C-alpha cells in the first residue's frame, strides 16, 4: 500500500513539476496587448513580469521616476538596470543585438531604463519585455529642453555651463521667438519630431515626420506597451503603475508625495524659462502636428483606461495649448531631465543622502 502511494506521488510530481513561488515566476508573455485586455476587462493585477523596460523619453519627468525606482528597487528587491550611455537613441542592427543581449542576460527580475527608441526583442530571438513610458505636451517638452540646455536648473547656477560648454554666447541667449520664426534647426523639423520615434522604433522611417511613423508608433503602443502615461497627470500614472506592476511600484505614490522627495524634485525646475509669442507657438504647433496627434491619441487611451478602472482624474492642470501662451515668465512644476542625457551622478548623490 505504501509503495503504491509512493508511486502515485512520484507520478504526480513528474506530470506536474513544482513551480517557482508566484513572486518569482514570470508568466509567458504573448503580447502586452493580451495582458492589457485582461487587466482592463477583468480588473486584475498583471501577472508578475520579470522583464520590464522603461525607454524613457527625454524631458518627460524621467529623472523623478528613476529616483523613485532607485528607492523602490531597494525596497522590493528587483534589479534596476541603468546605462552609462545617454545620447544614443538610434542604434545600428549590431548595436540593437548587443543591447538586447545585455538586457536579456541581466539578473531577473529587472527593470531596465535608458533613453532609447523602441526595440523589438522578438525580432532578434529574445523574449519581448513589458514596456512602460511617459510623455508630455510636445510644446512644453520642447520649451523645457530649449531653456534647460541654456540655463540649467536650481541645482546649480553654473550647471548649464558644464553641460553645454561649447555653446556660443549668441546661441545661448538666442531669443526663442527668433529661433522659431527664423526657422533655426533647433526649432524646426526633424529636431522637433522627437517623441514619436521612441515608440515607432529603430527603422529609419521612424525619424521622418509623417503618417508612417505615427501609425507605427500607435501600433506599438497598443501591442507592446503596458502603459504610456502623460506627465500632466503623473500621480495617476504612478497609481496605475502600482496597480499593474505592484512587485515593482507598490508604495510609489506615498514616496512621491513625501515632502523630502518633493524638495528634491523642486531642484530640477528650469530657470529663466519664458514662453514664445502666440504667433511663434502657432508655428510650433503646425510643425509638431504629428507629435500632437500622437500625444492626443495616448492621452485618450490613458483616460479610457482610467475610466474602465473607475479611477477619477486627478489632473493638476491641463497642458498649455497655443491660445493660452503669453510672453511672460513661466515656471515648470514638473521635474525635468536633460534631453537624452541624464546626470546620473546627481541621482546617485541624492540617493545616498
**Residues 142 and 288: beta-carbon distance below 8 Å:** yes
Q: Structural domains in the chain?
A: 48-352 (3.40.50.300)
pLDDT at 332: 35
pLDDT at 314: 59
Beta-bridged to residue 153, according to DSSP, are: 270
pLDDT at 153: 56
Residue 262 CB: number of other CB atoms within 10 A? 11
Report the pLDDT averaged over residues 60-89: 94
* Cell of residue 283, nine digits: 508655428
Provide the percentage of residues in the chain whose pLDDT is more than 70: 67
Of 55-69, 167-181, 267-281, the one with minimum mean pLDDT is 267-281
CA dist 312 → 45, 240, 256, 307, 308 (Å): 19, 12, 19, 7, 10
Q: What share of the chain is helix, strand, coil (3-state, %, to 5)?
A: 55, 10, 40
Q: Please indicate whether residue 260 or residue 31 has the higher confidence score (pLDDT).
A: 260
Q: Alpha helix locations (H) across 56-130? A: 62-76, 93-104
Cα separation, 293 vs 218, in Å, equals 10
* Cell of residue 108, nine digits: 531577473
Give the N- to C-terminal CA distance of the chain in Å, as an integer: 65
List, for residues 214-242, the tens digit of each pLDDT value.
999 999 999 999 999 999 999 999 999 99
Of 40-44, 145-149, 337-341, the one with minimum mean pLDDT is 337-341
Report the pLDDT averaged over residues 306-323: 65
pLDDT at 149: 78
Cα separation, 196 vs 252, in Å, equals 27
CA–chain centroid gap for 6, Å, is 53
Set 16, 76, 115, 303: catalytic member? 115
Q: In what order do the strands lie in the sheet with 79-81?
A: 79-81, 110-113, 51-54, 130-135, 225-230
| pLDDT tier at 276, thresholds 50, 70, 90 | very high
Question: Looking at residue 302, what DSSP letter applies?
Answer: H
| pLDDT tier at 344, thresholds 50, 70, 90 | very low
pLDDT at 84: 84
Residue 247 annotated to the active site? no
Whether residue 336 is predicted with pLDDT greater than 50 in this model: the reply is: no
Amino acid at each position: 500500500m505504501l509503495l503504491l502511494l509512493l508511486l502515485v506521488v512520484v507520478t504526480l510530481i513528474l506530470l506536474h513539476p513544482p513551480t517557482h513561488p508566484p513572486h518569482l515566476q514570470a508568466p509567458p508573455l504573448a503580447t502586452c496587448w493580451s495582458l492589457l485586455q485582461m487587466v482592463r476587462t477583468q480588473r486584475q493585477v498583471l501577472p508578475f513580469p520579470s522583464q520590464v523596460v522603461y525607454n524613457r523619453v527625454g524631458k518627460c519627468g524621467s529623472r523623478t521616476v528613476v529616483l523613485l525606482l532607485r528607492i523602490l528597487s531597494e525596497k522590493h528587491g528587483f534589479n534596476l538596470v541603468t546605462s552609462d550611455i545617454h545620447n544614443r537613441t538610434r542604434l545600428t542592427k549590431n548595436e540593437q543585438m548587443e543591447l538586447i543581449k545585455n538586457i536579456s542576460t541581466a539578473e531577473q527580475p529587472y527593470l531596465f531604463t535608458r533613453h532609447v527608441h523602441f526595440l523589438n526583442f522578438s525580432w532578434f530571438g529574445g523574449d519581448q519585455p513589458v514596456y512602460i513610458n511617459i510623455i508630455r505636451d510636445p510644446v512644453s517638452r520642447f520649451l523645457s529642453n530649449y531653456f534647460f540646455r541654456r540655463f540649467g536648473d536650481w541645482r546649480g547656477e553654473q550647471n548649464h555651463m558644464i553641460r553645454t560648454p561649447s555653446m556660443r554666447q549668441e546661441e545661448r541667449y538666442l531669443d526663442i521667438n527668433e529661433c522659431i520664426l527664423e526657422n533655426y534647426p533647433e526649432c524646426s523639423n526633424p529636431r522637433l519630431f522627437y517623441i514619436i520615434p521612441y515608440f515607432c522604433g529603430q527603422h529609419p522611417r521612424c525619424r521622418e515626420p509623417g503618417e508612417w511613423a505615427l501609425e507605427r508608433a500607435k501600433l506599438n503602443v497598443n501591442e507592446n506597451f503596458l502603459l504610456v502615461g502623460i506627465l500632466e497627470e503623473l500621480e495617476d500614472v504612478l497609481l496605475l503603475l502600482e496597480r499593474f506592476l505592484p512587485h515593482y511600484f507598490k508604495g510609489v505614490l506615498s514616496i512621491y508625495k513625501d515632502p523630502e522627495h518633493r524638495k528634491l524634485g523642486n531642484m530640477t525646475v528650469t530657470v529663466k524659462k519664458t514662453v514664445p509669442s502666440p504667433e511663434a507657438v502657432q508655428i510650433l504647433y503646425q510643425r509638431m502636428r504629428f507629435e500632437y496627434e500622437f500625444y492626443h491619441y495616448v492621452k485618450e487611451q490613458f483616460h479610457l483606461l482610467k475610466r474602465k478602472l473607475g479611477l477619477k482624474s486627478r489632473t493638476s492642470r491641463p497642458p498649455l495649448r497655443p491660445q493660452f501662451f503669453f510672453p511672460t515668465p513661466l515656471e515648470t512644476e514638473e521635474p525635468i531631465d536633460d534631453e537624452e542625457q541624464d546626470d546620473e551622478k546627481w541621482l546617485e548623490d541624492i540617493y545616498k543622502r
